[in-house]
Amino acid sequence: MQDENGDRLLVIDDEPAFGRIVKTIAERAGFAVKATEEPEEFELLAQSWHPSVIFMDLQIPGTDGVELLRKLTARRCDAWVILASGLDGKTLDAARRLGLERGLKMAGTVQKPSRSSVIRKLLTRCKRADGALSAAELAEGIAAGQLFLEYQPKLDCNRRRIAGVEALVRWRHPVRGLVRPDQFIPLAESNDLIQSLTDWVLSAALAQCAAWCSGGLALELSINISAKDLAIDFPDRLAQRCREFGIAPDSVILELTETSATRDAVQMMDVLTRLRVKGFRLSIDDFGTGHSSMLQLQRMPFSELKIDRSFVMNMLGDKDSRVIVEIVIDLARKLRLHSVAEGVETDATLQGLVALECDGLQGYHLSRPLAPERIASFVTEYEARTAVCDVHPASAGDQDKPRRTRSGRSRGAAPAQPAIIGAARV
Ligand code: G
Ligand code: G
Ligand code: MN
């Protein structure tokens, strides 16, 4: 394969068979490929051949992936790095995060054995991602209507129903294809574009919510906002928008991360408190990571706490993660906050969270983020399935009744309620 367009893949893997598979997939995707099993040769090629993507196994005889990541950093490597391993997902993810911390461009991880489609997807994503996005491109994208929203259903564990949805923004770029928010939200934040982006998201999501509502579907709406959105007039502008669309503020939940950053603390308190006074709900997102802290929980008027998916995803396989999930749910309860677990990918995790009396959950097991037109049928099907699974005699012929009787905590209730289910049609 030619590499005149600069797509070069360097593979280091001690399993020649796996290395060959990656090579074949990459060549089909238009990469020039060099593969090696030798750390010295790898370092030499990383330096002199200028790969655009590096595919690296974590376990390499004579060295290891973590050490190689350190060396790549020292050489200011600007290739995308994909990590692969047969080790557990937590170790793989720790290595990925370490790479990010060191400033490397980490494209993703591959858990071995892996499907070739996973590898192909990662490689094509690296191809597209090259060539940094510019603020001007994003401004144009917002103006040209290239953003769109998907909605991820959120389950209320106490009432066993779909309580609402989280709006998640995406960018359909005319050349690059689908661009994920983690690639353009930071760009928006550092270029004074976040307010116009959030404005667009709010209008689109509130309009959608109003449309569902007029179709008989009342859903709470969770929206991610950035600390930089919290200008002094934000509560008034949001309240005005809600009036325009006929949406009650208490059905809107604003999810915030990194609340410690940027704005001064007094203004932040002012804005968040006024949002609460106006009836909006506030959620602390990705709790347990980054800048979300106990201090903010204590000072800011949050109403919901979202447990970061990194703990939830590992809670069954890893004792430490489970302890963290348990304690955070307990913390939320004691602070009278609604607890929501993110990243629920299996039924066993769902059942574990229900047993811990987590209030709400979200994740691929329930549903991936969906296009808005799929939400109504998702809710209908989900509720029909729940009703069918419900063996509680009182529920026969009256779908609403068990919901009402089970609203509030189930502590001490008869254990005749097996019907909290996922949807798992991924
Ligand atoms: O699926 P997903 O890739 O959508 O989300 C990645 C990250 O992007 C999440 O941390 C999420 O909070 C953030 N995000 C998604 N949509 C929005 C949005 O509309 N505004 C902001 N500020 N962040 C968003
Ligand atoms: O940070 P925030 O909570 O807003 O992030 C939401 C992100 O989590 C989105 O990128 C969404 O696509 C992703 N997500 C939602 N459910 C799951 C899940 O079950 N597993 C994984 N890996 N990601 C999820
Ligand atoms: Mn969120």
Statement to judge: residues 15 and 111 lie in one domain:
yes
Q: Which amino acid is at 343?
A: G
Alpha-carbon separation of residue 344 from 19, 96, 108, 224, 294 (angstroms): 32, 21, 20, 19, 24
CA 13 to chain CA centroid, nearest Å: 30
Query: Which of helix, strand or coil describes residue 89?
Result: helix
194 with 339, same domain: the answer is yes
> Is there a domain that residue 69 lies in?
yes
218 C-alpha to ligand 2 centroid (Å): 23
Side-by-side strand order, sheet with 32-36: 32-36, 8-12, 53-57, 80-85, 105-111
How many structural domains compose the chain?
Answer: 2
Best residue among 178, 182, 340 to mutate for probing ligand 1's pocket (most ligand atoms within 8 Å of CB) is 182
On whether both 109 and 253 belong to a single domain, the answer is no
Cα(257)–Cα(189) distance, integer angstroms: 13
CA pseudo-torsion sign 313, 319, 324, 326: positive
Q: Which of 169, 226, 309, 345 to mutate to test the pocket of ligand 2 (most atoms within 8 A of CB)?
A: 309
Spatial contact of 315 and 286, defined as CB atoms under 8 Å apart: no
Atom of ligand 2 nearest to the CA of 364: 19
Same domain assignment for residues 146 and 120: no
pLDDT of residue 101: 81
Expressed in angstroms and rounded, the spacing between residue 369 Cα and the centre of ligand 1 is 11
| Ligand 1 atom closest to the CA of 285, numbered from 1 | 12
pLDDT number for residue 229 = 93
**C-beta pairs of 163-166 under 8 Å, 24+ apart in sequence:** 163/219, 163/220, 163/360, 164/219, 164/220, 164/221, 164/222, 164/251, 164/253, 165/219, 165/220, 165/221, 165/222, 165/375, 166/222, 166/223, 166/224, 166/255, 166/362, 166/369
- Give pLDDT, residue 259: 57
226 close to ligand 1 (CB < 6 Angstrom): yes
The pLDDT of residue 394: 40
One domain for residues 244 and 117: no
Which residues make Cβ contacts (< 8 Å) with residue 310, sequence separation at least 6?
A: 93, 288, 289, 321, 343
Domain-terminating residue out of 126, 153, 172: 126
Instruction: Give CA–CA dist 65/69, Å, rounded.
Output: 6
Q: Tell which of 65, 96, 126 closes a domain.
A: 126
Give the integer Cα–Cα distance in Å for 333 and 339.
7
Q: Does residue 286's CB lie within 6 angstroms of at least one atom of ligand 2?
A: yes
Same domain, 327 and 221: yes
Do residues 307 and 340 lie in contact, with contact meaning Cβ atoms separated by under 8 Å?
yes
The protein residue with its alpha carbon nearest to ligand 1, atom 1, reads 168
Bridge partners of 12, per DSSP, are 36, 56
Same domain, 122 and 149: no
Residues 31, 32, 37: CA angle, nearest 5 degrees: 110
Residue 341 · residue 312 · CB < 8 Å: yes
- Residue 258 amino acid letter: E
CATH number of the domain bearing residue 122: 3.40.50.2300
Cβ–ligand 1 contact at 395 (below 6 Å)? no
pLDDT reported for residue 292: 63
Question: What letter does residue 160 receive in the DSSP assignment?
Answer: T
Establish how many alpha carbons lie within 13 A of residue 347's alpha carbon, considering only the half-sphere containing its beta carbon. 8
C-alpha distances in angstroms, 309 versus 190, 202, 210, 409, 421? 25, 24, 29, 23, 19
- The residue nearest atom 16 of ligand 2, judged by CA position, is 363
In a domain? residue 397? no
* Local confidence pLDDT in tens for the 426 residues of the chain: 444 447 899 999 888 888 889 999 999 888 999 999 999 999 999 988 889 899 999 988 888 889 999 999 888 888 899 999 988 888 888 999 888 888 788 888 998 888 888 899 889 888 766 667 889 999 999 999 999 999 999 999 999 999 999 999 999 887 677 888 988 998 999 899 999 999 999 999 999 999 999 999 999 999 999 988 999 999 999 999 999 999 999 999 999 986 555 557 788 889 999 999 999 999 999 898 866 678 888 888 999 999 999 999 999 999 999 999 999 999 999 999 999 999 999 999 999 999 999 999 999 999 999 999 999 999 999 989 887 765 444 433 333 333 333 333 343 444 445 467 777 543
HSE of 41, CA atoms in CB hemisphere, 13 A: 11
What's the CA-to-centroid distance between 152 and ligand 3, angstroms?
10
Looking at the domain assignment, is residue 395 inside a domain? no
Whether residues 55 and 178 fall in one domain: no
Q: What count of Cα atoms within 13 Å lies in the side-chain half-sphere of residue 146?
A: 20
With the most atoms of ligand 2 within 8 angstroms of its CB, the residue from 109, 289, 364 to mutate is 364
Q: Which atom, in ligand 1's list, is nearest to the CA of 255?
A: 12
The ligand minimizing its distance to the Cα of 362 is: 2
Structural domain includes residue 417: no
Q: How many helical (H) and strand (E) elements, i.e. helices and strands, does the chain have?
A: 16, 16
What's the rounded Cα separation, in Å, for the pair 278 and 292? 24
Q: Is 50 helix (H, G, I), strand (E, B) or coil?
A: coil
pLDDT of residue 82: 94
Q: What is the position in ligand 1's atom list of the atom closest to the CA of 229? A: 22
What per-residue confidence (pLDDT) applies to 386? 83
Angle 137-169-324 (CA atoms, 0-180°, nearest 5)? 125
415 lies in a domain? Answer: no
CA distance 108 to 355: 32
Same domain (yes/no): 232, 341: yes
Residues 257 and 278 in one domain: yes
Residue 374 lies in a domain: yes
Q: Is residue 266 part of a domain?
A: yes
Distance 223 CA to ligand 3 centre (A): 7
Residue nearest to atom 20 of ligand 2 (CA): 343
pLDDT of residue 349: 97
Q: How many angstroms separate the alpha carbon of residue 223 from the centre of ligand 1? A: 9
Query: Could you tell me the CATH number of the domain that includes residue 163?
Result: 3.20.20.450
Place of tokens 């779908």: 399
Burial class (CB in 10 A: 0-12, 13-18, 19+), 95: buried
Please tell me whether residues 105 and 186 are part of one structural domain: no
In a domain, 326, yes or no: yes
- Asked whether 339 lines ligand 2 (CB < 6 A), one says no
Closest ligand 1 atom, CA of 194?
A: 22
- Picking from 99, 126, 153, the residue at the C-terminal end of a domain is 126
Domain limits for position 81: 8-126
Rounded distance between C-alpha atoms, residue 51 and residue 77, angstroms: 9
Nearest protein Cα to ligand 1, atom 23: 224
Q: Is 308 in the pocket of ligand 2 (CB under 6 A)?
A: no
Same domain, 216 and 235: yes
